Each structure stands twice: as structure tokens, then as C-alpha cells.
Amino acid sequence: MTQEDPLSQTNTYSFLYPATVMVQIDASGEAEADELRRSIEGEEFSLELVTRAGHRFTAITLDSGAGELDQIDGDPLEELCSNEDCRASLSDGEGYNGECGDCADRRYLHELGEHRGAPRDDCRACIEAV
């Protein structure tokens, strides 16, 4: 048996990092996407990522409850209407307080009392009041 040079021996040192991870889920709605997202939390995934210097990323686990909706079809959430069942773009500048123009108008009419006695299912304020 040959004598090994101790300087040529290497060990694998695994470091644990918190990281920002973007998980894309295709779903027909936010509730479905959210359910799918939660179903994969805590599961360990194998990765095959290697940096140019040869450092390997080998596994990833999603922390329970740590995921937040960030983009829809590539648009940042802050550029979309805050109402989950709407999510229209705010880029026309017609919105108010995070809602698109249509939702803000509906809320305004709601606050004027227009929906009193006849709640509308397309009005966030009516839905929230239930």
C-alpha cells in the first residue's frame, strides 16, 4: 500500500445557505398554484447545478410557509391589481391604492352605498364584508 500525501486529500464540505429561490408553478388560478406550492414544501429536491469553478449545488428544500407570490406570467405582483380575482395591470396609471381602475371604481361606488342591499360578486368590498 502506497503512502498517501496528506496534502492531496480532499473532503467534501457542505455549507447550508438560506437563499432566494423562484419556483414557477403553472396553474389555472392562484388558489390552485398556492395549493401546489404548499404540497412541495419540505420535500428535498436533487439539483445538478455546477459553477464554472466546479462547485456543486446538490439539494434544495423549500421552507414551509416561506413562499410568497412574486410574479404572475412574469409580471411583478406590485404592478398588478391587488385583488386576487382580478390581477389586471396597473400600468395604465388609472388604479388607486394597489387596485386597478375598475376595482377602485367599484370600491368607490361601494363606499357611496351603491351596492347596499345588492352585494356584487365582482366587488372586493362586498366580498370582504361577507
Residue ranges in contact with Zn ion by CB under 5 A: 81, 83, 86, 88, 100, 103, 110, 115, 123, 125-126
- Minimum distance of Zn ion from residue 112's CB (angstroms): 10
DSSP 27: -
Report, in Å, the least distance between residue 32 CB and Zn ion: 20
| 3-class state of residue 39 by DSSP | helix
Q: Give the β-pairing of 75-76 and 56-61.
A: unpaired
Which residue lies nearer to Zn ion by CB, 32 or 85?
85
Nearer to Zn ion, 35 or 94 (CB): 94
What's the burial of 86, exposed, middle or buried (CB within 10 Å: 0-12/13-18/19+)? middle
* CB of 51 or CB of 86, closer to Zn ion: 86
Q: Closer to Zn ion at the Cβ: 40 or 72?
A: 72
Indicate if the alpha-carbon torsion angle 12, 18, 20, 21 is positive or negative: positive
- Min dist. Cβ of residue 69 to Zn ion (A): 16
